[in-house]
Chain A
């Protein structure tokens, strides 16, 4: 990020340019929609939330001269809208009703990773991740990250995203999704186990090997 775009001038015409940059706006809209649909299963509701977030951002466009700052802000609006939607659609798709999915999950996953005596299986031991900080600037990394998220069983993905992306706290998720605290803790644990393994197999090991 050493390009000469670190100016924080809040020049109006420059701000307007954000909206006139069709390629940037389209890419952002696609990304927001994807983010929303990962979390809200009704795609019409997800699209509405993205529209509203964009509209609300447009009304405050003067505040942003940089696309990155704009993007952070519009996503924070979107997150709030998604949390509202999740509260409302509670009865329809609470995570308690979702299946765990066909992939290795639950006890099978635990058995795959750990020996009977509770220690790591030899070849499943976590390896050192090389400089994870650098990945946030790498588009290829985020593609892998997306793929790993999508590979999670629906229930894991939903609860993980509520906790980590929407930053909802444990009591609120339990209330919303009608799951017990211990069940939420176990599900988040399993989601992280899987995500960790997926990232290590498809990104970190690839890089270091």
Chain B
């Protein structure tokens, strides 16, 4: 069974490479029962969205 330490690394690597089927299954089994890792996964997506917004939005600068 995958532990949080490996699960979080998979959740990060998911953003940089396609996971193998085996990795996906192990990860899904882990996140199904681990709510902190589910949060972590969502936050990884949020970090990406925020990074993309860094140079693009900031509409509040608009006069």
Binding site for B on A (CB under 8 A): 1, 3, 5, 21, 23-24, 27-28, 35, 66-68, 71-72, 75-76, 78-79, 110, 114, 117-120, 125-129, 132, 135-139, 142, 145, 163-165, 167, 170, 181, 184-186, 188-189, 192-193, 195-196, 199-200
> Judging by beta carbons under 8 Å apart, are A138 and B43 in contact?
no
Among B8-59, those with CB < 8 Å from A are 8-9, 12-13, 15-17, 36-37, 39-40, 42-44, 46-59
Interface size on B, residues (CB 8 A): 36
> Judging by beta carbons under 8 Å apart, are A193 and B8 in contact?
yes
> Judging by beta carbons under 8 Å apart, are B55 and A165 in contact?
yes
Cα A184 to Cα B4 with chains together (Å): 20
Cα A77 to Cα B55 with chains together (Å): 11
Cα A164 to Cα B9 with chains together (Å): 17
Cα A110 to Cα B12 with chains together (Å): 14
Q: How many whole Å from B27's CB to the nearest CB in chain A?
A: 14
Cα A125 to Cα B44 with chains together (Å): 14
> Judging by beta carbons under 8 Å apart, are A75 and B55 in contact?
yes
Q: How many whole Å from B46's CB to the nearest CB in chain A?
A: 5
Q: Which residue of B4, B12, B62 is within 8 Å of A189 (Cβ)?
A: B12
Cα A207 to Cα B61 with chains together (Å): 23
Cα A188 to Cα B42 with chains together (Å): 16
> Judging by beta carbons under 8 Å apart, are B48 and A164 in contact?
yes
